[in-house]
Amino acid sequence: MTQAAPNAARLSIGEVLDELRTDFPDISISKIRYLETEGLVEPERTPSGYRKFSRADVERLHLVLRVQRDTYWPLKVIRQKLDDLDRGILSSDDEGTLQVPRVIMSSDGLPGPDTFASSPKGIRFRRSELLQASEIDEDLLDEAEQYGLVAPSSGHFTEADVVIAKTLGELAAFGLEPRHLRSIRTAADREVSMLEQIVEPLRRRRDPESAARADETARNIASLSVLLHTMLVKNGLRHRG
């Protein structure tokens, strides 16, 4: 494969054709246009209607062509695999078993600052995938959504939603249902509001250094707040024991 151009570069369809021919000698402009028509790549358009391909578009075309050549998958299957790739879904085996996200813990087993860090492009789960990964049923998920414990965005759930759903399933084994946990949701919302008030002055500066400091501050305070909550519950149980 040819050496990558800068991410900001935009290539014409002819330039893309020249790059792809290194690995796919039979590629043609009509083939690239066909893959676009099938929704496998979506290049930008100039005001004059010319296609402009990003580096990500070229990599995507390379992947599609390689899969077609090496696996003979139909476009429907390739389109599904690309969607899985876009959403960050990874299979742990050939049968497509979903991996359940893990909560990042500190050495003492409690959530640390890294627990509250968000990746630039998080995994997005469909409803069926969340049910499979969290091992809960439709009724429990419906109730969790009803009480605001999980909330899909544009039809997808996040990694955090999967962890929440799995935790709700484990709590349900002790007779605790989502309706019993509304106070935890309310407390979490209040804590988020408190954190936003603290870091908002830093975010308003709008320079990268201040934004990074704001994120670091929020993560540290969040982890300390969780530690405080944990110790208060621990003390409460000890005093009642």
Q: Are 212 and 119 in the same domain?
A: yes
Report residue 132: phi and psi, to 5°: -70, -45
- Sequential DSSP letters for 190-223: HHHHHHHHHHHHHHTT-SHHHHHHHHHHHHHHHH
Q: Is residue 97, in this structure, part of any structural domain at all?
A: no
Give the C-alpha separation, 198 to 191, whole Å: 11
Q: Are 83 and 119 in the same domain?
A: no
Q: Are 131 and 229 in the same domain?
A: yes
Q: Are 231 and 188 in the same domain?
A: yes
Q: Are 124 and 208 in the same domain?
A: yes
Question: The whole model's pTM is what?
Answer: 0.61
Q: Are 128 and 235 in the same domain?
A: yes
Q: Are 117 and 236 in the same domain?
A: yes
Q: Is residue 155, in this structure, part of any structural domain at all?
A: yes
Q: Are 117 and 211 in the same domain?
A: yes
Q: What confidence category does residue 132 fall into, taking pLDDT thresholds of 50, 70 and 90?
A: confident
pLDDT digits (tens, 9 = 90+) for 52-66: 999 889 988 988 898
Q: Are 129 and 184 in the same domain?
A: yes
> For residue 180, is pLDDT > 90?
yes
pLDDT of res. 91:
44
pLDDT of res. 93:
41
Residue 233: both structure tokens together = 């519950």
Report residue 119: phi and psi, to 5°: -75, 155
Q: Are 73 and 122 in the same domain?
A: no
pLDDT of res. 190:
93
CA angle 49, 52, 54 (to 5 degrees): 155
Residue range of the domain that includes 27: 13-87
Q: What is the dihedral of CA 10, 45, 50, 12, to 10 degrees?
A: 20
> For residue 110, is pLDDT > 80?
no
Q: Residue 62: which CATH number?
A: 1.10.1660.10
Closest CA to 65 of 18, 109, 24: 24
pLDDT of res. 112:
72
Sign of the alpha-carbon torsion through 74, 77, 78, 79: positive
Q: Is residue 107, in this structure, part of any structural domain at all?
A: no
Q: Are 190 and 78 in the same domain?
A: no
Q: Write out the H or E segment, with its range, that includes residue 97.
A: none
pLDDT of res. 80:
80
> For residue 149, is pLDDT > 80?
yes
Overall number of domains in the chain: 2
Q: Write out the H or E segment, with its range, that includes residue 124.
A: none
> In the predicted model, what is the mean pLDDT of residues 172-177?
93
Q: What is the dihedral of CA 44, 46, 50, 56, to 10 degrees?
A: -20
Q: Is residue 96, in this structure, part of any structural domain at all?
A: no
Q: Are 158 and 201 in the same domain?
A: yes
pLDDT of res. 4:
42
Q: Could you say which of 87, 105, 126 is where a domain stops?
A: 87
Higher pLDDT, residue 99 or 183: 183
SS3 content of the chain, % helix, strand, coil (to 5): 60, 5, 35
Q: Is residue 232, in this structure, part of any structural domain at all?
A: yes
> In the predicted model, what is the mean pLDDT of residues 167-178?
94
pLDDT of res. 89:
66
Higher pLDDT, residue 101 or 199: 199
